[in-house]
Amino acid sequence: MGLHNTSHPGKAGLEELVPSRYAVRIGEIDVLVVSDGVLPLPTEMLGHNADPAARAAWLGDMFLPADAFDWSLNVVLVRSGDRTILIDAGLGLDPNLNLPRAGQLVKRLDSAGIDLASVTDVVLTHLHMDHIGGLLVDGVKDRLRPDLQIHVSAAEVKFWESPDFTHVHMPQGFPDALKATAKRFMEEYRSHLRQFDEQYEVAPGVVVRRTGGHTPGHSVVRLASGGDRLTFAGDAVFAVGFDHPDWYNGFEHDPEEAARVRVRLLTELAATGEQLVATHLPFPSVGRVAVDGDVFRWVPAFWDY
Ligand SMILES: [Zn+2]
C-alpha cells in the first residue's frame, strides 16, 4: 500500500497521515497540542518595519518560499485536576477570506477522541479571529457545556468595544473580518465570560497572565507542576521573532510594546529553560529558547514517541 496523504473513506484513523496532535506532560498536567491547520499570508506580515531584502534573506536562509508564509495554527488542550481547558480555538470558517487549510480544530479534536462537552474552561489569549473562530463554527456552541467558563482579560474585552487598527499592517479584508468575528463572539458568548485583570489561576498550576502588546489584553498561559514548566505564548512570539525580535508583525496593534513583550518573555524563557508552545510556531511548536548574542535561538524538542 502506498502512503498517500489523501483521505481513505470509511477507514477511521487513516484520514490524515500527517500528525495533527502531540502530547506533552508537565508534572501532573496533561498537555495536547492540536493543529488547526495553516494560514498562508503575504511575507510582509512577518516584519512590516523590516527591509524587504532582509525579509527575503531570512526566508531564503530558512528554505522557505519568497511569496507567502504559512502560519501554523496551534491550539492547546490542558487537563489539570478536574478541569479540561481549551487554550484558544483556532480560526473556524470565514468564507470571505478563502482559508481552506485552516479551521481543522473541531474535526481533529473529534479524531483525538476529545468530546467538546468535556471542556470545562476555555482560555483566550486574545480575541483575534484565528484564536476564537472555532467557537463560532456551526453546531459547536450546542456541543459545549452550558456552564462553560471562558477566561479572557478585562483589557481585551474593553479593547474590542472600539478597537484601534491604526498601527496594524494586515492584508485587505482582515480588519473587517477580525472586527466582525470579535463582535459575533461577544454576542454569542458574553454570558460565559470570566474576566481577569492581570492574572488568574484556572486550575492547579495553570495560570493565565496578561502581557499586552499584540493586543492590549493579550495573555500567555504558564503551566507549572512537579518542577516542570511550559508557557503557551499565544501571539507574543512568531517563527521570525527569535532571529528578529524587533520586527513588527502585521497583526500587532501596538508593535513597539509587542516587541518589548517578546524580548522580555524570550529572555525569561531562556533563563528558566522551560518549554515553549506558541500559536504560530511550526507544529507541534514544542521547544525551548536559547540566547544567542543579541538574538534568540529556537531549540525544537526531540519528538518523544
Ligand atoms: Zn494569531
Q: What DSSP assignment string belongs to 208-220? A: EEE--SSSTT-EE
- Measured in Å, residue 130 CA sits from the centre of ligand 1 at 5
Residue in this structure with the C-alpha cell 500567555, named with its chain if needed: 220
- Provide the pLDDT for residue 123: 98
**Residue numbers of the chain with a pLDDT score lower than 50:** 1-12
> Cell digits for 163?
478597537
Q: In the prediction, which pLDDT does 18 show? A: 77
pLDDT of residue 14: 54
Hey, what amino acid is at 155? A
Count CA atoms within 13 Å of residue 140 on its CB side.
Answer: 23
So what's the pLDDT on residue 28? 97
C-alpha distances (whole Å) from 17 to each of 72, 101, 115, 195, 214 are 17, 15, 22, 39, 34
What is the 76 CA–ligand 1 centroid distance (Å)?
13
Q: What is the pLDDT of residue 7?
A: 42
CA within 13 Å, CB half, 11: 7
State the distance from the centre of ligand 1 to the C-alpha of 242, rounded, in angstroms: 17
Beta bridge partners of 229: 224
Q: From ligand 1's centre to the CA of 41, what distance in Å?
A: 12
CB 277 within 8 A of CB 291: no
From the centroid of its chain, how far is CA 96?
22
Strand partners, 299: 288
**DSSP strand pairing (199-203 vs 193-196):** unpaired
| Structural domains present in the chain | 19-300 (3.60.15.10)
Span from the CA of 256 to the centroid of ligand 1 (angstroms): 17
Chain position carrying cell 488542550: 77
DSSP class of 116: G
Digit-coded pLDDT (tens) for 73-89: 999 999 999 999 999 99
Separation of CA 131 and ligand 1 centre (Å)? 6
pLDDT for the residue numbered 9: 42
Report DSSP state, residue 280: T
d(CA 238, ligand 1 centre) in Å: 9
**Is-above-0.85 flag for pTM?**
yes
Residue range 159-202, pLDDT digits in tens: 999 999 999 999 999 999 999 999 999 999 999 999 999 999 99
Distance from Cα 26 to the centre of ligand 1, integer Å: 24
Give the helix ranges, DSSP H, for the chain. Answer: 52-61, 105-111, 129-132, 140-143, 154-159, 174-189, 255-272
Dihedral (C-alpha) 53, 59, 63, 64: value to the nearest 10 degrees?
A: -120
Listed residue (48, 175, 185, 39) closest to 124, CA to CA: 185
Question: Which whole-number Å values give the CA distances from 98 to 14, 89, 259, in the listed order?
Answer: 26, 18, 30
Question: What type of residue sits at position 130?
Answer: D
Supply φ then ψ for residue 132, to 5 degrees. Answer: -125, -15
Q: Quick one: pLDDT at residue 98? A: 76
Residue 203, H or E segment: strand 199-203
User: What is the dihedral angle through the alpha carbons of 162, 166, 171, 175, rounded to the nearest 10 degrees?
Assistant: 10
Q: Tell how far the Cα of 162 is from the centroid of ligand 1, in angstroms.
A: 19
Whether the ω angle into residue 9 lies within 30 degrees of 0, i.e. cis, is no
Instruction: For residue 125, report the distance from its CA to the centre of ligand 1, in Å.
Output: 9
| 302: helix, strand or coil | coil
How far, in Å, is the centroid of ligand 1 from the Cα of 218?
10
